[in-house]
Structure 1
Amino acid sequence: MISTDPQDEIMLMDASKSNELCSMEFDWSCSSSGLGVGVVLIPPHGKVIPYSFKLEFQNTNNTVEYEALLLGLAEEKRLQIKMLEVGGDAELIVKQVRGLFVDKNERLRHYRNHVWDEIEAFDAFSIEAIPREFNSKADSLAVSVALLVPHPDFTTDTYRVELVYRPSVPNNYESW
């Protein structure tokens, strides 16, 4: 997670209390250094709040997209956001979460079901596929953490990466 100015998170919490709609974008990246996840939380007023995660366990393209979504949802829940619109360039994941695609893969079904469980915490929730070029903030965070290179928009005293050692879906890694 990139640590942020506490005032930014306070503004986001204030938005949650007034039932204002917040947005979230998510993405992932892979490099020889590993997997990175970027999430940006966008309050109705104030600055974008960025989060970065380095995944230290085996993943596939689709499961890492689900991890990005779930890690972002966990941050939104931690901040007590109640109304959320989500965008990501992972069209398959978005369509599975919306129930438009059938999940033939058991592991992806577990992830989708976990997302469904998580979104029950929100009073209003929507998720849409967005073009890759409109997901550049989350993508740049994911690339930065995957390459283990500090993000250029943040100083070294505010930049922190959270390492994640286990999947968000318990026991969903045993059949690799």
Structure 2
Amino acid sequence: MLIDSGMFDALWSMEFDGICSSSGSGAGVVLIPPHRKVIPYSFKLEFQNMNNMAEHEALLLELAKARRLQIKKLKVRGDAELIVKQVRGLFAIKNERLRHYRNHVWDEIEAFDAFSIEALPREFNSKADSLAIFAALLVPHLDFTTNTCRVELVYRPSVPDNSKSWEVFANDK
């Protein structure tokens, strides 16, 4: 898709969702340029994780894409209220692994001139949710088929998993 270079200074929106189940894990993101035609992304997460990690992965994968596109202003919305509040610094994080994820998100945010993040009700995040399910289960949704969206495989987490607390958590799972 060709995008007018002047649009990168305008406000873009992004909606994200992550899913982790016994059937698979995935991340779904909808990037919405100023012209409002959505750009869907699905990521199949091929590594051990938990639901909050999948949510963070969705956020981080799309922040990285937005940064590579040189987008300067970004409004982010997701239905994971806990993740949103942690990124905004409103909730403490006890798990060291998740704290590393939040800190990595903070590092990515610094690349933007303007950034906001807010929670939205799950029913208003259906496109990102469908993309996450599409990636996790490899079952296309009516809105996003293999003709309109592809699934990228992600074999490593955005944040290295060499933390001792992650090993303890994984064993307790």
Q: Given the two structures, how large is their TM-score scaled by the length of structure 1?
A: 0.87
Checking the alignment, whether the CA contact within 8 Å between 1:87 and 1:129 is kept in structure 2 is yes
Give the counterpart of 1:41 among 15, 26, 31.
31
What secondary structure sits across from 1:96 in the alignment? helix
What secondary structure sits across from 2:139 in the alignment? coil
- Match of residue 158 from structure 2: 168
Cα distance, 1:38 vs structure 2: 0.5
**Distance 1:170-1:153 versus aligned 2 partners, 3 A rule:** same
1:23-172 to 2 correspondences below 5 Å: 23-172=13-162
**Distance 1:160-1:139 versus aligned 2 partners, 3 A rule:** same
Checking the alignment, whether the CA contact within 8 Å between 2:11 and 2:73 is kept in structure 1 is yes
Report the Cα distance in structure 2 between the residues aligned to 1:68 and 1:172, rounded to whole angstroms: 20
Report the Cα distance in structure 1 between the residues aligned to 2:70 and 2:111, rounded to whole angstroms: 9
Alignment-mate amino acid for residue 135 of structure 1: N
Report the Cα distance in structure 1 between the residues aligned to 2:111 and 2:102, rounded to whole angstroms: 15
How many residues in Structure 1 have an aligned counterpart in Structure 2? 166
Runs (5+) with no aligned partner, structure 1: 1-5
**Distance 1:159-1:128 versus aligned 2 partners, 3 A rule:** closer
Spell out, residue by residue over 1:92-122, the C-alpha distance to the aligned partner (whole angstroms, 9 max, x if none): 1111100001111111110010000000000
Q: Given the two structures, how large is their TM-score scaled by the length of structure 2?
A: 0.88
RMSD in angstroms over aligned alpha carbons? 1.7
Alignment-mate amino acid for residue 120 of structure 1: E
Mapped pair 1:15 → 2:7:
yes
Cα distance, 1:32 vs structure 2: 4.5
Cα distance, 1:46 vs structure 2: 3.9
Runs (5+) with no aligned partner, structure 2: none
Checking the alignment, whether the CA contact within 8 Å between 1:27 and 1:37 is kept in structure 2 is yes
Cα distance, 1:14 vs structure 2: 3.7
Checking the alignment, whether the CA contact within 8 Å between 1:107 and 1:172 is kept in structure 2 is no
What secondary structure sits across from 1:168 in the alignment? coil
**Distance 1:91-1:57 versus aligned 2 partners, 3 A rule:** same
Spell out, residue by residue over 1:1-51, the C-alpha distance to the aligned partner (whole angstroms, 9 max, x if none): xxxxx23xx24x5411xx211000000234543111100001111410000
Report the Cα distance in structure 2 between the residues aligned to 1:20 and 1:163, rounded to whole angstroms: 30
Identical residues among aligned pairs (%)? 76
**Distance 1:169-1:49 versus aligned 2 partners, 3 A rule:** same
Cα distance, 1:159 vs structure 2: 3.4
- Match of residue 3 from structure 1: none
